[in-house]
Amino acid sequence: DAGVTQSPTHLIKTRGQQVTLRCSPISGHKSVSWYQQVLGQGPQFIFQYYEKEERGRGNFPDRFSARQFPNYSSELNVNALLLGDSALYLCASSIRDREGTQYFGPGTRLTVL
Amino acid sequence: GENVEQHPSTLSVQEGDSAVIKCTYSDSASNYFPWYKQELGKGPQLIIDIRSNVGEKKDQRIAVTLNKTAKHFSLHITETQPEDSAVYFCAASMGNTGFQKLVFGTGTRLLVSP
C-alpha cells in the first residue's frame, strides 16, 4: 500500500511570495495533520483536518492556512513568506482525528530566500 | 503547559550495545506516546508507540516504558546495529483538546559504530 505522499519535494521561494504544499493520505485515512520541522528541531503542529473540517490549530500566524478535499487530500498554504518559514513541512495521516497512529510523509523542503 | 523534554541530544554506542533515550512530558492528560525514527532527508517513521493504560511494550529489539506518575517514558534499543543510526524523536499527544496534537521532543542523534 502507498504511504503518505507529498509534493513538491523541494521548493525555493523569495520573501513575500506565497506557496502551496500538497499531501495525499494513506488510503482509508480521513485525517491529515501538518507539521513544521525547522532544522535541528522536532516537528511542530500546525493544523489537523478531519472529514474536511479544521479540528485543531497550533500556534502559527494567520499567514498559514489549509484545507482538506473530499478525497481527503490536503493543501497547506503559506502567504507573505518570511525567511523563518524555511523548514521541512510534514504531512501526517491517521484514520481518525482524536486518536490513532499518525504516519508521516517524506515532507516538502521549503527554502525562503 | 505543553512541553516534552528529551535526553540525551546525542548518543554514541558500539554495535551490539544497548541505547536508552528518555523523555519527560508536562501535560498530565497526555495518553499516547509514539516514538519516531528520522533518517537524513526523510520523514519521521513510527517505530513503536504506547498508550497510557500500558506500562511497557516490546517489539523485537525495541521496547518502550511509561511511568505516568513521574510523567517519564523511555525508548530502549538492544543489540544495536549500524542501521539504527538516525535521529529519534519522542512525542506526547496533548489531552483534552478534541483533536490529536503531537508535541515532539528535540530529538536524539544516535550513532552506532561497527
Give the model confidence (pLDDT) of B33-52 as tens digits.
Answer: 999 999 998 999 999 999 88
**Which parts of chain A sit beneath pLDDT 70?**
1
B98 touches chain A (CB under 8 A): yes
B102 touches chain A (CB under 8 A): yes
Tell how strand A108-112 and strand B45-51 pair up.
Answer: unpaired
Query: Which of A45, A46, A91, A93 is the best substitution to test chain B (most B C-beta atoms within 10 A)?
Result: A45
In the predicted structure, residue B53 carries a pLDDT above the cut 90: no
Dump pLDDT digits (tens) for B64-93: 999 999 999 999 999 999 999 999 999 999
Do the Cβ atoms of A41 and B106 come within 8 Å? yes
Dump pLDDT digits (tens) for A79-108: 999 999 999 999 999 988 777 799 999 999
Do the Cβ atoms of B89 and A103 come within 8 Å? no
> Is the Cβ–Cβ distance between A1 and A103 less than 8 Å?
no
Question: Which one is predicted more confidently, B28 or B66?
Answer: B66
Question: Which one is predicted more confidently, B30 or B110?
Answer: B110
> Is the Cβ–Cβ distance between A78 and A47 less than 8 Å?
no
For residue B34, the model assigns a pLDDT of: 96
> Is the Cβ–Cβ distance between B19 and B13 less than 8 Å?
yes
Q: How far is CA A67 from the centre of its chain?
A: 10
A53 touches chain B (CB under 8 A): no
Q: How far from B36 is each of B63, B105, B106, CA to CA, in Å?
A: 13, 10, 12
B95/chain A closest Cα distance in angstroms: 9
Q: A70 preceded by cis ω (within 30°)?
A: no
Cα–Cα dist B9/B45, whole Å: 19
